[in-house]
Structure 1
Amino acid sequence: MLEQALVMLAAAGGTAVVQAASTDAWAELRQAVARWFGRTDTRREQVESERLELTRTAVRSSDPADADRILLEQQAAWRTRIEYALEELPESERAEAADQLRAVLAEHERVAGAGRVSAGPGGVAAARDVRVKADRGSIGAGVINGGAHIGPPPLPDPSRG
């Protein structure tokens, strides 16, 4: 049984894999995670890289109605794989492997954080897809530079008929 800190590390690893699967940071994280699993065994590294690619395919091709379930399943699967990988190591190697995984995740956070979005008070920011649906109305989309006001449309000018 792993100590709580390593379980949390495995959970962070699973989350990072799933979150990166549909981003530009994917290739770098996939390679680093596969290398971490491989531990100088190039065959195992290749197998893990292929498994990671299957995760990307699952995440990117999921039906929107199933997306949350797929994300959670993939996240749990990678958390478990990381936990098992750490458990299988001799105690003398476990701390070093954990430090290496922390370094992989820190580097990913640094790279992924560079493209992070944010919004001020009352704003909305999205780092993933945004789906908007309108019932009995219409939706317009675009880029707004500056302020915006949403409310009822102005009344037509009577002189314009």
Structure 2
Amino acid sequence: MLTEALTAVAAGGGMAVVQAAGSDTWAWFRTRCARLVGRGDGAREAEALDRLDRTAAVLAAAEEGERERVRAVHAVLWQGEFASLLESLGEEERELLVGQLGALAKDFGSGSAGGAVTGNTFHGPVAVQTGDHNRQENNFGSGG
């Protein structure tokens, strides 16, 4: 049985899957996630890619009134996938996976789309900044 902390990491991974699905960063995310799940096994990685693509397809096909329920179901399914993986590993490899899942969740979970800006329409000058701990100075208009 997983500790609360490991369960939280698995849940963050599950949320990252549903947050990234359909975003501009999906191709990058799915590859990164499949490698994480595959753990160096090409067949397991290919299977993970297939499951990730099925998740993305189901989420994309969900009707407006069902979308949040479908997202929640798939987040829990992926949480289970990550929890099973964590349980199957030895302590050292588990610690490595916890770090990788944490990074995945940080990059894509909790309402984030991995720094992607999607579903927006911009009319006129726009500045977009994503990420943590960065600095940006913007000057619009004439220098006068």
SS of 2:24 mapped into structure 1: coil
Q: Distance in 1 between matches of 2:63 and 2:30?
A: 23
Partner residue of 1:32?
32
1:50 aligns with 2:50: yes
1:128, distance to aligned residue in structure 2 (A):
6.1
Q: Distance in 2 between matches of 1:111 and 1:63?
A: 21
Do the aligned partners of residues 35 and 63 (structure 1) sit closer, same or farther apart at CA in structure 2, a change above 3 Å counting?
same
Partner residue of 1:78?
78
CA contact (8 A) 2:30 2:52 kept: yes
TM-score (norm 2): 0.74
Do the aligned partners of residues 143 and 24 (structure 1) sit closer, same or farther apart at CA in structure 2, a change above 3 Å counting?
closer
What runs of 5+ residues in structure 2 fail to find an aligned partner?
125-144
1:113 aligns with 2:91: no
SS of 2:64 mapped into structure 1: coil
SS of 2:65 mapped into structure 1: coil
The C-alpha deviation readout for 1:10-43, integer Å capped at 9, x for no partner, is: 1111111001112111111111110001111011
Do the aligned partners of residues 25 and 91 (structure 1) sit closer, same or farther apart at CA in structure 2, a change above 3 Å counting?
same
Q: Distance in 1 between matches of 2:41 and 2:116?
A: 32
- The total of aligned residue pairs comes to 122
1:143, distance to aligned residue in structure 2 (A):
6.9
Q: Distance in 1 between matches of 2:122 and 2:81?
A: 41
Do the aligned partners of residues 35 and 22 (structure 1) sit closer, same or farther apart at CA in structure 2, a change above 3 Å counting?
same
CA contact (8 A) 2:16 2:104 kept: no
The C-alpha deviation readout for 1:73-124, integer Å capped at 9, x for no partner, is: 1011001110011001122321111112223334446872353xxxxxxxxx
Q: Distance in 1 between matches of 2:68 and 2:108?
A: 22
User: Which structure has more RCO (C-alpha within 8 Å, separation ≥ 6)?
Assistant: 2
Percent of counterpart pairs with the same letter?
34
Aligned CA RMSD, in angstroms, stands at: 2.5
- What amino acid sits opposite 1:96 in the alignment? L
TM-score (norm 1): 0.67
1:4, distance to aligned residue in structure 2 (A):
1.3
